Amino acid sequence: MQFQALLEEIVATLRPELGREGQVASYIPALARVPAAQFGIALRTCDGHEAQAGDSTTPFSIQSISKLFTLTLGMREMGETLWERIGREPSGNPFNSLVQLESEHGVPRNPFINAGAIAVTDRLVSLFDAKAEMLTLLSSLCEEPIRYDEEVAASEAATGFRNVAMANFMKSFGRIDNDVAAVLDAYFHHCAVRMSCAQLARAVGFLCRDGVHPATGQQLLTERQARRVNSLMLTCGTYDAAGEFAFRIGLPCKSGVGGGIVAVVPDRLTLCVWSPALESSGNSLLGMKALEMFTAKTGLSIF
Ligand code: DON
């Protein structure tokens, strides 16, 4: 398949729409300053062929896409015991909602909403330096040094009142072991990783290769674990828009409020799109359109 030509066609078709609809995330001050008129797309096949178009090498804030790698570290380190404190059901609520936590005794619905990722991060903080471990994983997956954007991390720490509330609320149920400030410091840094579409398409390569590391060939997750991550991406990876994503795109996806979305075609390829303007659930508007075009034109879908 001529992926390079297809990605260029998608960029050419969608570029005229840049800046017309959607809003850049404004609740994190450092993200509100990102120019909206940017669009990139990149993919990597399971056998290592890469294609990219538009602003595919521009680094952006990966935000909640980091929850995918937090979960990967949690599953790698803890296996089944990870699920003692985190559910696997879609929440049907916004990613930063607190409402279910009270009636569900501080157990977050899934690892991809903020409360779930904070709970997984707590488990990681008990095991090692979670900030360093995240960069080690990402740098090894991309074969390039990956860093935090300290300005974004500080901006989140200064304004992330809901996350502070959530972490304390879970702690009141005995579901957080560590000091809340230490857990949130790791969580905010994970959200503040800077990566490009090309790097992210490479980094999630293990999800289309049954858990095998795209560069080293080592088993990062078991085949079963990798397929389970994909299933959680499909049902919970795009929050209260997960139904719309399954309907329009039909692939496991994980989004972030920086405007990035990664998607997996199991056994075939991984891709990443990025455009900062978001729809109301916090997913990239043009990113969704690009993925919809990609699956319509290639016929690639899990359904
Ligand atoms: O904690 C937050 O609210 C942000 N750092 C991450 C939220 C996010 O990316 C949700 N995505 N769509």
Q: Is the CB of 238 under 6 A from ligand 1?
A: no
Q: Is the CB of 257 under 6 A from ligand 1?
A: yes
Q: How many residues does the chain have?
A: 303
In degrees, rounded to 5, the angle at the alpha carbon of residue 113 between the alpha carbons of residues 210 and 89 is 70
Please count the other Cβ atoms lying within 10 Å of the Cβ belonging to residue 52. Answer: 23
Q: Is the CB of 178 under 6 A from ligand 1?
A: no
Mean pLDDT of the region 251-269: 97
217: left (phi over 0), alpha (psi -120 to 50) or beta: left
Protein residue closest via CA to atom 7 of ligand 1:
64
Please count the other Cβ atoms lying within 10 Å of the Cβ belonging to residue 299. Answer: 7
Q: Which of 31, 65, 68, 95 to mutate to test the pocket of ligand 1 (most atoms within 8 A of CB)?
A: 95
CA distance 117 to 71: 7
Higher pLDDT, 239 or 131: 131
Q: Is the CB of 63 under 6 A from ligand 1?
A: yes
Tell how far the Cα of 207 is from the centroid of ligand 1, in angstroms: 22
Mean pLDDT of the region 230-251: 96
Question: Known binding site for substrate: residues?
Answer: 64, 114, 156, 163, 187, 239, 257
User: Hey, is 30 helix, strand or coil?
Assistant: helix
Which CATH homologous superfamily contains domain 3-298? DD-peptidase/beta-lactamase superfamily (3.40.710.10)
Atom of ligand 1 nearest to the CA of 257: 9
Q: Is the pLDDT of residue 20 over 90?
A: no
CA distance 170 to 261: 28
- Asked if 122 and 180 count as a contact pair (C-beta separation under 8 A), the reply is no
Protein residue closest via CA to atom 1 of ligand 1:
114
Q: Which of 62, 63, 245, 284 to mutate to test the pocket of ligand 1 (most atoms within 8 A of CB)?
A: 63
Kindly report, residue by residue over 142-190, the tens digit of the pLDDT.
999 999 999 999 999 999 999 999 999 999 999 999 999 999 999 999 9
Q: Is the pLDDT of residue 250 over 90?
A: yes
Kindly report, residue by residue over 55-70, the tens digit of the pLDDT.
999 999 999 999 999 9
Q: Which of 31, 67, 114, 261 to mutate to test the pocket of ligand 1 (most atoms within 8 A of CB)?
A: 114
Atom of ligand 1 nearest to the CA of 156: 5
Task: Look at residues 254, 159, 264, 156 and name the one whose alpha carbon lies nearest to residue 207.
Answer: 264
Please count the other Cβ atoms lying within 10 Å of the Cβ belonging to residue 227. Answer: 16
Q: Is the pLDDT of residue 19 over 90?
A: no
Q: What is the average pLDDT score of the chain?
A: 96
Q: Is the CB of 256 under 6 A from ligand 1?
A: yes
In which band, very low, low, confident or very high, does the pLDDT at 251 lie, cut at 50, 70 and 90?
A: very high
Atom of ligand 1 nearest to the CA of 95: 10
Task: Look at residues 266, 257, 218, 212 and name the one whose alpha carbon lies nearest to residue 239.
Answer: 257
Atom of ligand 1 nearest to the CA of 96: 3
Q: Is the pLDDT of residue 1 over 90?
A: no
Cα 269 to Cα 63, 76, 300, distances in angstroms: 22, 22, 10
Cα 158 to Cα 154, 162, 164, 171, 219, distances in angstroms: 6, 11, 10, 20, 38
Is the complex ipTM more than 0.95? yes
> What's the sign of the alpha-carbon dihedral 163, 167, 172, 173?
positive
pLDDT of residue 90: 94
Tell how far the Cα of 88 is from the centroid of ligand 1, in angstroms: 19
Q: Which helix (H) or strand (E) holds 45?
A: strand 40-45
Q: What percent of the chain lies above the pLDDT cut of 70? A: 100
Task: Look at residues 131, 191, 132, 203 and name the one whose alpha carbon lies nearest to residue 156.
Answer: 191
In which band, very low, low, confident or very high, does the pLDDT at 264 lie, cut at 50, 70 and 90?
A: very high
